[in-house]
Amino acid sequence: MKPLMLAAALSIWALPGPARAADCSKALDQTSMNQCAGTAFREADAKLNSAYAALRARLKDDPDAGKLLVVAQRAWIAFRDAECSLQASRATGGSLYPTIHAYCLRDLTVTRTKELQEAFSDER
């Protein structure tokens, strides 16, 4: 992603609450849609971090598995970021890029969260 576009996307996602669209289901302009996509990703990422921390805690007595989890998670993050850059590349340079990119990040993050929540569960 070009540095200027990345800075613009990140600045949109970092807006304080009142500056964001109040109701994402009614977002009609691209800026609001980009903000909503960023918010959706941040919420999914917070859940992922929680699931990851819980699994790390469950694995505290198995340091080898804990290390493997860290390696796997870092690799997954690299994959997620590359995959979403690829998916959004069709809109590179356009105002829709941040929306496509953030929703891709959200979708893959939601899936990974479920995987982490199910990992090492007794229900498998």
Other beta carbons within 10 Å of 36: 22
- The answer to whether position 42 is within a domain reads no
Per-residue pLDDT of 62-73, as tens digits, reads 999 999 999 999
Length of the chain: 124
Half-sphere exposure of 124 (CA within 13 A, CB side): 7
Q: In this structure, which long-range contacts are made by residues 63-67, counting pairs with CB atoms below 8 Å and at least 24 apart in sequence?
A: 65/120
Owning domain of residue 115: 73-124
- The answer to whether position 21 is within a domain reads no
Q: What is the pTM of this model?
A: 0.78
* Cα gap 65→59, rounded to integer Å: 7
Per-residue pLDDT of 71-98, as tens digits, reads 999 999 999 999 999 999 999 999 999 9
**Count of structural domains within the chain:** 1
